[in-house]
């Protein structure tokens, strides 16, 4: 006869097996969530409800979006399941409606907290294709995944494809509007005493505009490839300069790089940092790096996913090893954008 302990162990194992049957389907259909979210952005569902000013019925949505209500309803059900929109049940006063949530606000195509362009960039065929070369990259039998698929690195590709370059700039601007205020709030003292700062890889200048607005004593240089800065607008107390960071970096009291180093391997990062070191004063210059740095002592689940995305293991030790020519290395932490 089976004793109590053995029975409990068997039931626990059976429960794990049942969960596994369900969990494996998440991988079978793992692409569905991002596909549906991308569809919602492209259709402008959040923008339509926002413009309407109140929750909308399915028929109102389908009419405004010029969509067949049947497939649209299936999409809305998934989005409600993902807690992106809220479905309010029908009442005596009217049919059920779909309403905005705090999460859906991030999918608006414009606005302070819009992340729509960043999602569209990362879910684009151009950026998804390299993931199919991940295995070969891990095995060391191919060039970097993007280069293996497209025949050139992401920046060369962007230079030859203006639409993709424009999407990159919009995506980076989205991220800047979220991360830069957090950096300023957490690390304002870093920028005190700086009169000029060069934003290396500054894109359309959003990062620098936010920075000089918060720090009116600073003059800024938005530095990026010529085709990038050619479409960046001018702003008070900042100018756009085209060039290649592997050749030289504009002279300034400080250099800031946000989400730049993770695009490159260790050797390239060292070359970039050396050029930054040459650009700043010997006695008081600063190189300010804004990156997702992996803390190996506290590797939370969301950080692990970021680590896979970066594919570089940008740890604090890496920064220590490449900062030998710098006098001081200080690491600051910012709050996650969800406040948790």
**Each residue's pLDDT tens digit, 57-77:** 999 999 999 999 999 999 999
Residue 177 predicted with pLDDT over 70: yes
Highest mean pLDDT among 223-227, 257-261, 265-269: 223-227
CB atoms within 10 A of CB 21: 8
| Burial class (CB within 10 angstroms; exposed 0-12, middle 13-18, buried 19+) of 22 | exposed
Residue 129 β-bridge partners: none
**Each residue's pLDDT tens digit, 307-338:** 433 333 333 444 444 444 555 556 666 655 44
- CA 47 vs. chain centroid, Å, equals 21
pLDDT of the residue at 297 = 60
**Each residue's pLDDT tens digit, 95-116:** 999 999 999 999 999 877 899 9
Predicted confidence band at 197 (pLDDT cuts at 50, 70, 90)?
Answer: very high
pTM comes to 0.80
**Cβ within 8 Å of residue 190, ≥6 positions away:** 286, 288, 330, 332
Q: Which residues of 28-59 are buried (b: 16+ CB within 10 A; e: fewer)?
A: eeeeeeeebbbbbbebbbbbebbeeeebbebe
**Each residue's pLDDT tens digit, 22-35:** 889 888 888 999 99
Handedness of CA 282, 285, 290, 294 (dihedral sign): positive
Residue 231 predicted with pLDDT over 50: yes
Active site residue 262: yes
Residue 119 predicted with pLDDT over 90: yes
**Each residue's pLDDT tens digit, 272-308:** 999 999 999 988 899 998 887 655 565 554 544 444 3
Q: Mean pLDDT across the stretch 176-203?
A: 91
**Each residue's pLDDT tens digit, 26-60:** 888 889 999 999 999 999 999 999 999 999 999 99
**Each residue's pLDDT tens digit, 232-250:** 888 889 999 999 999 999 9
**Each residue's pLDDT tens digit, 144-164:** 888 989 999 898 999 999 999
The mean pLDDT of the chain is 85
pLDDT of the residue at 300 = 54
Helix (H, G, I), strand (E, B) or coil at 89: coil
pLDDT of the residue at 335 = 59
Q: Which of 150, 164, 227, 262 is catalytic?
A: 262
């Amino acid at each position: 006869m089976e004793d109590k302990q053995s029975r409990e162990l068997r039931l626990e194992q059976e429960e794990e097996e049942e969960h596994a049957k369900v969990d494996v389907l998440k991988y079978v259909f793992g692409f569905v969530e991002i596909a549906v979210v991308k569809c919602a952005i492209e259709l402008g569902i959040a923008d339509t409800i926002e413009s309407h000013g109140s929750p909308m019925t399915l028929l109102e949505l389908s009419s405004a979006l010029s969509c067949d209500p049947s497939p649209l309803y299936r999409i809305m059900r998934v989005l409600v399941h993902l807690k992106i929109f809220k479905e309010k049940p029908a009442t005596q006063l009217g049919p059920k409606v779909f309403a905005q949530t705090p999460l859906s606000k991030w999918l608006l195509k414009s606005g302070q907290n819009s992340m729509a362009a960043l999602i569209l960039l990362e879910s684009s065929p151009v950026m998804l294709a390299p993931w199919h070369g991940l295995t070969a990259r891990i095995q060391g039998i191919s060039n970097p995944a993007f280069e293996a698929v497209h025949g050139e690195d992401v920046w060369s590709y962007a230079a030859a494809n203006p639409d993709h370059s424009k999407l990159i700039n919009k995506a980076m601007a989205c991220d800047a509007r979220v991360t830069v205020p957090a950096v300023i709030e957490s690390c304002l003292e870093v920028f005190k005493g700086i009169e000029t700062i060069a934003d290396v890889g500054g894109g359309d200048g959003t990062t620098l505009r936010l920075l000089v607005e918060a720090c009116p004593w600073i003059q800024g240089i938005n530095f990026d490839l010529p085709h990038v800065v050619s479409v960046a607008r001018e702003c008070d107390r900042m100018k756009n300069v085209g060039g290649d960071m592997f050749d030289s970096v504009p002279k300034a009291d400080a250099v800031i790089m946000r989400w730049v180093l993770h695009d490159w391997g260790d050797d390239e990062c060292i070359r970039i940092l050396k050029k930054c070191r040459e650009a700043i004063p010997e006695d008081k210059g600063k190189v300010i790096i804004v990156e997702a740095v992996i803390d190996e002592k506290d590797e939370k689940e969301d950080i692990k996913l970021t680590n896979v995305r970066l594919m570089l293991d940008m740890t604090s030790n890496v920064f220590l090893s490449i900062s030998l020519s710098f006098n001081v290395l200080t690491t600051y932490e910012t709050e996650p954008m969800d406040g948790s």
